[in-house]
Amino acid sequence: MTADLDQALRAATARLGAAGITEPYREARILLAAAIGADQAGLLRRRGGDLTTEEAKRFDSMVARRGLRISAAHVIGHREFWSLDFRVTEDTLVPRPDSEVLIETALELRPERDAIRSILDLGTGSGCLLLAALSEYRGAWGLGIDLSPRAAAVARGNATALGLAGRAAIAVGRWTDALSGRFDLLLCNPPYIPAADIAELMPEVGLHEPRLALDGGVDGLDPYRLLFAGLPQRLTPAGLALFEFGIGQAEPLQALAEASGLVVVACRADLGGHPRVLAVSHR
């Protein structure tokens, strides 16, 4: 049995629209391309044709999951970040373009590729920050730490898939507990959503991304308070630490860094013009 591709696409668009998905046609195309194992150009070449029975079943399952407001990235199981392909699961955050500002800022402030020899990524999730940085600083090795064993397993798999397992170690732990050693570059996208605001997030995030990676305490700044206090012990003398943060948190976060004895090196905005990344050092 086969199914008409165009008819399946129209039906999926209607289902996603009824589920409250923004741009349902665009999302239906993304899911359909994944279901048939093609890019958008390959999908275009199939228009006017049929889906195989297996392709139709796969597409229907994907549309059903997306209709539950599970993100397209989690439905498909992959997301591009820094032009690299990352496997993602509901144990990890979906890598977002705004987080690429961390990598851009690192390259801006440490442009010499041999200036970075060691990288620490706290709350590594899918490993996207650590592995993107290692793809640029090719003489460096890196350590990613996550409290979730399942997230750590995803990061290890991504390191292997990207050919970076030889330079990346992934450990399970709580921030820098039991960690020794100093690093040239520290990357961190910690939980920074105020706990009371999580219920107001879009369902794809609030219901289907790990709360462990979202909840930053009453004001969203609890992880920074903890990490800033021990930062000098984790950085080399010329070490640089980059932290992602949320909208409206730039000023209190800079004040917190300075009160912790850190030097604010830079604050950089995301694609929407919102302050998003804070760079600090300890001297």
DSSP type of residue 239 = E
Q: What is the pLDDT of residues 136-192, one digit of tens each?
A: 999 999 999 999 999 999 999 999 999 999 999 999 999 898 788 999 999 999 999
Residue 181 belongs to domain with CATH number: 3.40.50.150
- 35-44, 73-82, 211-220: range with highest mean pLDDT: 73-82
* Domain membership flag for residue 40: yes
* Residue 72 pLDDT: 94
Number of domains present in the structure of the chain? 2
* Residue 2 pLDDT: 63
Q: Cβ neighbours of residue 13 under 8 Å, at least 6 residues apart?
A: 24, 25, 28
Q: Which of 27, 43, 68 is the last residue of a domain?
A: 68
Q: Which of 45, 68, 91 is the last residue of a domain?
A: 68
Structure confidence at residue 48 as a pLDDT band (50, 70, 90): confident
Q: Are residues 253 and 131 in the same domain?
A: yes
Q: Are residues 64 and 120 in the same domain?
A: no
Q: Are residues 40 and 155 in the same domain?
A: no
Q: Are residues 42 and 127 in the same domain?
A: no
Domain ranges, residue 206: 82-281
Q: Are residues 130 and 250 in the same domain?
A: yes
pLDDT, the chain, mean = 94
Residue 23 belongs to domain with CATH number: 1.10.8.10
* Residue 281 pLDDT: 96
* Residue 74 pLDDT: 95
Phi, psi of 170 (to 5 degrees): -120, 125
* Element housing 203 (H / E): helix 203-206
Nearest to 214, CA basis, from 200, 232, 235? 200
* Residue 47 pLDDT: 83
Is-contact 221 249, C-beta < 8 A?
yes
Helix/strand/coil for 226 = helix
Q: How many Cα atoms are found within 13 Å in the side-chain-facing hemisphere of 72?
A: 20
Q: Which amino acid, one-letter code, is at 100?
A: E
Q: What is the pLDDT of residues 4-38, one digit of tens each?
A: 899 999 999 999 999 999 999 999 999 999 999 98
Checking if the pLDDT of 1 tops 60, the result is: no
In the chain, DSSP assigns E strands to: 3-4, 50-51, 78-81, 84-87, 118-122, 141-146, 168-172, 183-188, 235-244, 263-269, 275-281
* Residue 18 pLDDT: 96
Q: What is the pLDDT of residues 105-143, one digit of tens each?
A: 999 999 999 989 999 999 999 999 999 999 999 999 999
